[in-house]
Amino acid sequence: MKVLVGMSGGVDSSVAAALLRDAGHEVVGVTMRLWGGDSDTGCCSVSDVDDARRAAQQLGVEHVVFNFSDDFDRHVVGPYVDAHRNGRTPNPCIECNRHLKFDRLVSRAEQLGFDAVATGHHARVGTHVDGSFRLERGADRAKDQSYVLHMLDAQALKGVLLPVGEFTKDEVRSMASDLGLRTAAKPDSQDVCFIPTTDGRRGFLESRMSFTPARVVDREGVEVGEVPAVELVTLGQRRGLGLPGGGPVRYVVGIEHSVDHDAPRVIVSDAQDLLTVGERVGSVVWAGDPEPGQLLVQTSAHGDPIPAEVSMVGGGSVDIRWALRQPRVAPGQSVVFYDPSDRWVVGGGIVEPPAVPVRL
């Protein structure tokens, strides 16, 4: 089988290419050039492209580079900026997987005559009880990445291989070391790849939008602080709010971007006021046929799954009702549904803001 392997310059994708090569497949490594601006971290830096090329050379496989920077700007960077401008907290890695790695790259692979696309994600492609392909959690629960791949439905998975999903991270590093790969001890990337560590999120966004100051008020509406940019505030935040030290811990429990006040308001209160009985989730994608009901719901990449009742409300949206009240999820973040056994991805979507602004 002819396989195009996405090589990011990290240890997982390097070992994925090695495993497929050793299994007898015709392997070509590809690195996507996504970001044309400054980058010193993640899979967009020049050093990561070099690491991928050298790993391919060590493995004796062909390596190519595809320039998808226009698609990346349109589908990832632009929406990331717009989300902050509109009071949402985006997840750019999920959108990169959705639009670039498993859409644009797959389309290019098909055009070039490849039989499959592979990546180094820690997740598995399994056969569901109905005979269709379904995404499963990876063997290493601590490194499981099924959350960020939840948009891959049964049809998409027909042409996807995830070879390292059967191994733990330690086993992957051990294989890389045995192969003499220079990526064997390379640390995992933890940051948004197109945001330089020197400027951070604030510097990146400040060069692309105007910031709006906001009053920080308590639940009675008494002003207790001020933030220079409401666009940088997210639900559940507890630091950087201009609050005096020594008092009780307070969290952002509401953000009013457009209200009849002199400035937008950030509402802070204790952890109890951050709890909710449920969420509205839009832009839902299902692994197969919609499967609402009693499911496990994960609200962050490495969070614990939470029991909830998921019900259809129409228009591609669902309502989640938690078995026990949970901290509210920031609008713009993704939630992923798993079956009650916590093995299979059932679907997922993006948390919508409340229909009525939170007023305590």
Q: Which residues are the active-site residues?
A: 96, 193
Q: What is the C-alpha separation between 118 and 102, in angstroms, rounded? A: 10
Could you write out the three-class secondary structure of 107-176?
HHHHHCCCCEEECCCCEEEEECCCCCEEEEECCCHHHCCHHHHCCCCHHHHCCEECHHHHCCHHHHHHHH
Beta bridge partners of 234: none
Per DSSP, 275 falls in state E
Residue carrying structure tokens 């590809």 = 30
Pairing of strands 26-33, 2-6: parallel
Q: What is the C-alpha separation between 265 and 245, in angstroms, rounded? A: 20
Q: What is the C-alpha separation between 199 and 153, in angstroms, rounded? A: 37
Residue carrying structure tokens 């020197």 = 198
CB atoms within 10 A of CB 108: 16
Phi, psi of 111 (to 5 degrees): -60, -30
Give the H or E element holding residue 26. strand 26-33
Token readout for 295 is 């499911």
The sign of the torsion formed by the CA atoms of 288, 121, 79, 310 equals positive
Q: Is 184 helix (H, G, I), strand (E, B) or coil?
A: coil
Is there a contact between 333 and 351 (Cβ–Cβ < 8 Å)? yes
Is there a contact between 126 and 136 (Cβ–Cβ < 8 Å)? yes
Beta bridge partners of 225: 216
The rounded radius of gyration (Å) of the Cα atoms in the chain is 22
